[in-house]
Amino acid sequence: MQKKVTSKKGAPLTKRKGVKRLLPVRKMTSLIKVVRPNATTVIGTDESWFNAIEIPRESFWVPTNTAKWVWGANDPFGAAAVVSRRFRIRRVRDVIRATLFFAVDNYGVVLINGRPVINDIKQNTPRFFMDGRTIDISGFLRSGVNDIVIVGFNFGGPGTGFDLPRSPTNPAGILARLTIET
């Protein structure tokens, strides 16, 4: 008979095959942002997103009070960054409207629940980071846990054939804000 393993506070612990340390279940689920019923929930990029590090906003980037400009924490000066966030919607049929405001210097890819929402071609488009764009994402959401994954790229310039590292002379950043009305 197997003994039930719990933390000091009595929370059940999980163990994956090949992983020796035990993780409290409560800690794993606390990283999920919950969309509240009968409310407007705003989920903006900041350091709470997986692999995100907040960076200073360049003067020519679109400003916002509900999200921060971020880049990849694993390589803050890399040519590309991947950030993600998990959120829960109790019942998707209760969603009245759901939009994504997205700004990126220089171009990016956005996936929601594994489906591409934005898939830019390699380019330097100033309106992407000066104005941003808003997309209806209602059709990409589902009841339960949802994932958004954003990949941002720093354009290397015409004829280079590759993207350049983020630097003070060639900045790069990602800004996203999900607004979900229920």
Name, in order, each residue with C-beta under 8 angstroms of 8's C-beta and a sequence gap of 6 or more.
Answer: none
Q: Which residues in 71-85 are b (16+ Cβ under 10 Å) and which e?
A: bbeeeeebbbbbbeb
Q: What is the pLDDT of residues 117-168, one digit of tens each?
A: 999 998 889 999 999 999 999 999 999 999 999 999 999 866 666 788 999 9
Place of tokens 């709470």: 48
Q: What is the pLDDT of residues 159-173, one digit of tens each?
A: 666 788 999 999 999
Q: pTM for the full model?
A: 0.80
